[in-house]
Amino acid sequence: MIQTHEPFFNIWKQSRVQAFWDRPGLSYEKWRHTLFNQSSPVVAKNTLIQSMLYMDANCFVTLIGPDLFIQEYPNWRTFLLDDKSLRAITHYKMLDLEWSWLVCGILSMKHPTLEWFNLTKKQIETFNCLAKLGYGTIYEVAKTMSRNYRRTYDDVQKLISIGVIGVTDKLINGRKCKLVWV
């Protein structure tokens, strides 16, 4: 079923640019046909991987349709698990969250606990900001949110402690930084 309302086409336009660099001849119908084209499984797989890696997770689910996403994502997910790039890790975790939310109505976490529901409003805003960024330093998150670095740092530490974001030390321009991701 092809949706025809304006917000849907705005989502398609945005997603097409994100994932396919605005190929002029690519319509939504052609994209869907390519994804499920059994006569060309390699092209279908590559299109699917490119879509999952570059489209916003929520937009991808909207374009695929929630029912089909729920059914197929556990199989599609394996295509991203082989890729160890930060982009792949970020996107499969965001898609995991979308799938978990649609299936059980909760966010999937490394160690699901009730602590998520005890987070402050600012801690949840920090998580949402980081989810939109994908990954970055704590300074970048604080700057994006126009917040004090120390308060953002404390929020990030709480999110790390409950297992909803990951962290690694990285050397950037000769300085040791904490790189965080969802």
**18 and 71: one domain?**
yes
Say whether pLDDT at 33 is over 80. Answer: yes
Q: Is 15 a member of any domain?
A: yes
107-131 pLDDT tens trace: 655 545 567 778 899 998 998 888 8
User: Lowest-confidence range among 25-39, 41-55, 101-115, 165-179?
Assistant: 101-115
Q: Is 1 among the domain residues?
A: no
Nearest to 135 by CA among 84, 88, 180: 180
* 123 and 85 in a common domain: no
Whole-prediction pTM value?
0.58
Q: What is the pLDDT of residue 21?
A: 67
Is residue 131 domain-resident? yes
The answer on 126 and 100 residing in a single domain is no
Q: Is the pLDDT of residue 18 over 80?
A: yes
Last residue of a domain, one of 47, 77, 104: 104
Task: Give domain status of residue 58, yes or no.
Answer: yes
User: Do 72 and 159 fall within a single domain?
Assistant: no
Which of the listed ranges 43-47, 117-121, 122-126, 142-146 does the model predict with the highest average pLDDT? 142-146
Check whether residue 91 and residue 26 sit in a common domain.
yes
Report the number of distinct structural domains present in the chain: 2
- Same domain? For 14 and 51 the reply is yes
Task: Look over the chain and give the mean of its residue pLDDT values, rounded to a whole number.
Answer: 83
Last residue of a domain, one of 104, 136, 163: 104
- Mean pLDDT calculated for residue range 155-159: 93
Whether 69 and 150 map to the same domain: the answer is no
Q: The domain containing residue 100 runs over which residues?
A: 6-104
Do 176 and 132 belong to one domain? yes
The answer to whether residues 91 and 132 belong to one domain is no
Are residues 123 and 76 part of one domain?
Answer: no
Predicted confidence at residue 1, as pLDDT, reads: 43
Q: What is the pLDDT of residue 107?
A: 64
Res 147: pLDDT:
96
Tell me the per-residue pLDDT of 49-82, one tens digit each, with 9 for 90 and over.
989 998 988 899 999 999 999 888 888 888 888 8
